[in-house]
Structure 1
Amino acid sequence: MIANDRSRLFRNRILESSVIIKHRVRPHEADIFEEPRFNATKILVPFDINDFRFGAHCLFVGQKNFDAVSEDMFGDDVKFGRSDRKVLDLIDELPSLDPFLLREHLRRSGVEPSRDYFCISDADVGKMHSYVSQQLAGLVRMTGGGDEATAVVNSADRLAEKLLSSSPDKSFEPLKKLLRLSEKEYQDGIFCWRGLLYYKWVLHDTYPRLGSVLREIKAIAPLGLRDAAGDAYIAEAKLRIEGAIRMSLARIRNVIRRYDDAYGVLVNEGQSAAFRRFLISAPDIFMDIGEEIGAIQHVVSYWTYWSRSSKLSKVKASELTDIFIDFEDGLSSSLHGKTNAWI
């Protein structure tokens, strides 16, 4: 529980204790919104804050009667122009609740709540630990954390555990001095370093599944009633989706290459200037790289889930069209030729 009101995400106590998730809009929910939406921000307000088994009220940000329903639940705090409404609208603008993407999006709009809101989930921490430990082994060797292989591994494991925790700061004080960072630069730098390792791990975890997903998308052919316009859209969408993903991957890898180069110079040559510059500039890339990775993750995770629960040989054209429109919407920055400052 965050005690300091100034560091809370929401001023309203009920909203602060609610659960907010990103939700793929199902066909029977489409009429809830004025305009077609594929993803929405869902608020769950528990009947009993201590036990979710009793159920919860729910509403979607931007649903037709949102103002009236939200006023019943939260009073005046979510009226247009209030700070809680601003935060909800900012969250609704994002494609996912990626902690690093969310923090930077809020920060750019002047909203800076406690860092405790932006922790990596315990499940992801568990999966990431060995990967991050391997990434940190070079830093351990450089700082004299162990001469023997076993000592290096153990020290790297401890450092990875600390970096992935919600309070990594004290363990990295020597790095703060080495990089000559101010307190704010240090706090933001550690957060961003953790974020870059998180994104590297996400890409490492997602990429092996991406090839099979793209092959399935390329090969799938719908059944049932079809028309020339629909067939043309599906054929063209397949090419656009694959092309957008490859463009996104190229941009993401460019950022990761910059990080790897700067980190390599630090641990292999003891030169800190490049890594310092990268950490200080890292917050500016999070919006773009987070959105790009989130869009690729969505394609891989949703297609994998949907293909396992559906018979791909009997899919209808209308269903496939809806899925492709959703994917293209998420990949829109690549489809529209977005140019990023960090390329």
Structure 2
Amino acid sequence: MMRSLRALERTASTSRVLNLLAVEAESAHRPEYAQAPLFRNRTLNTAIVLKHRLRNDDIYLFDEARPTATKIIIPFDRKDLGLGGQSVFVGQRGWADLVIEACNASGDMSRDLATLRMIDVLPSLDPFLLREHLRRHGVLVANCYFALSTADYENMQGFVTLEISRLIELAYRGAGGVGRAHAARLVEALLSTDVDERLEPLRDTLVMEGESFKEGVFSWKGFLYYKWMLTKLWPQLTTVGQEIGRLIVTGNKDAETAKFVDDSRRRLQGGVLVERSAILRTLKVYDDAFEDLIENGRPTAFRDFLLRAPEMFLSLGERVGVISHISSYWRYRFPHDEPLTVDVEEAIDILMDFEAGLSVPLGV
């Protein structure tokens, strides 16, 4: 726990970990941090929330089998994560009472517990999916709670610089161009929590003002985040799809079970392709709007697209979260250079878990 909590501060991905302690350190001075918190209980609002792959010694805590769960970690000492923390899984037996006790709560926790339930149904903690999901359920939370993790922020910068280089040139066209260092600062500003004067050239280019510009930047960051994630995910999924076909299933199995396993493999491989096509169709809407801005100088169309974009985050974020889970869990269970062999019962569990994610739409 000590080493892992410290590591979360620096290396965790945005889609897996929501470090509310880091959010407090970064944004507590902002009025909106206290005005529209994720959780009303201060202890819970400085916890670490993560999507956790359940291990064998975790499963007994639940009445129903599930591959992953939302884990709440409340540090013993907020200034020293090395001391560890108290953890509770959302959905484990008696979890609500455990959260209330861990938070030393004396007031009404119903809103916070309801928010945790909403978070638990999501396949990931992707901030763009999370924000829209909560908003659809009437929970309005300040944007500072939906920042990118440090690791993702750093890894995305090169990708985003390349992705929007033509827009940066357009924004500075009247100023004799822009140097590499200036472009890097602009990208840094775009990916950060604050929307400030560093983005003024882009605001002028997009002809946006005030809150609409803030919303537009958040949406834009969301699409760039998904595109960046998918550059890593597509090659992984291709490999996983091939390995699913080569998986050797051992143990006693009758003809009906063998047929189920083979059919499930084919459905899963086909289902991943369907999800991929749906994701690419959504991203093409963004690409077309962006291309229209660059090639035809139509800021209004791109601006309108950005303001409508959050509606797409629910389906896009769900799909990306599901296929990311398939890729990451498969590699966790079957590391590179290890035999692709599994007992029939575990094979059925894995395939059914993957299929359920692909076939069950997120309720709104």
The verdict on a shared fold, with TM-score over 0.5 as the criterion, is: yes
Work out the CA distance in 2 between the residues paired with 1:227 and 1:28: 30
Letter in 1 for 2:210: E
Match of 2:357 among 317, 321, 330: 330
1:32 aligns with 2:44: no
2:309 aligns to what? 282
Deviations 1:225-246 (A, max 9, x none): 2233332222121112111211
Q: How does 1:297-336 map to 2 (within 5 A)?
A: 297-308=324-335, 311-333=338-360
1:192 aligns with 2:219: yes
Deviates more, 1:284-293 or 1:117-126: 117-126
1:65 aligns to what? 94
Shift in Å, 1:78: 6.4
Shift in Å, 1:304: 1.9
Letter in 2 for 1:249: R
Match of 2:168 among 134, 140, 159: 140
1:12 aligns with 2:6: no
Work out the CA distance in 2 between the residues paired with 1:38 and 1:229: 25
1:95 aligns to what? 123
Work out the CA distance in 1 between the residues paired with 2:115 and 2:79: 24
Match of 1:164 among 181, 191, 199: 191
Work out the CA distance in 1 between the residues paired with 2:294 and 2:330: 40
Shift in Å, 1:27: 2.9
1:84 aligns to what? 112
1:57 and 1:217, CA in 2 relative to 1: closer, same or farther beyond 3 A? same
Deviates more, 1:260-269 or 1:161-170: 161-170
1:341 aligns to what? none
Consecutive unaligned residues in structure 1, runs of 5 or more: 339-343
Work out the CA distance in 2 between the residues paired with 1:133 and 1:58: 39
Aligned length: 331
CA contact (8 A) 1:43 1:58 kept: yes
2:249 aligns to what? 222
Structure 1 SS opposite 2:74? strand
Deviates more, 1:131-140 or 1:69-78: 69-78
Deviates more, 1:278-287 or 1:177-186: 177-186
Deviations 1:283-338 (A, max 9, x none): 100011001011111111221222117843432112222221221222224xx7x9
Shift in Å, 1:34: 2.1
Deviates more, 1:23-32 or 1:266-275: 23-32
Deviations 1:80-138 (A, max 9, x none): xx221121111112111111111111122222222221111111122211111011111
1:104 aligns with 2:132: yes
Letter in 2 for 1:164: L
1:263 aligns to what? 290
CA contact (8 A) 1:134 1:156 kept: no
2:278 aligns to what? 251
CA contact (8 A) 2:61 2:92 kept: yes
Deviations 1:131-172 (A, max 9, x none): 110111111221235757xx4544432221111111134333
CA contact (8 A) 1:141 1:152 kept: no
CA contact (8 A) 2:207 2:299 kept: no
Shift in Å, 1:197: 0.5
Shift in Å, 1:180: 4.1
Work out the CA distance in 1 between the residues paired with 2:248 and 2:294: 51
Work out the CA distance in 2 between the residues paired with 1:77 and 1:226: 54
Letter in 2 for 1:6: Q
Q: How does 1:115-126 map to 2 (within 5 A)?
A: 115-126=143-154
1:229 and 1:270, CA in 2 relative to 1: closer, same or farther beyond 3 A? same
Match of 1:54 among 57, 66, 83: 83
CA contact (8 A) 1:169 1:190 kept: no
Of structures 1 and 2, the one with the larger relative CO (CA 8 A, separation 6+) is: 2
Shift in Å, 1:194: 0.5
1:232 aligns with 2:259: yes
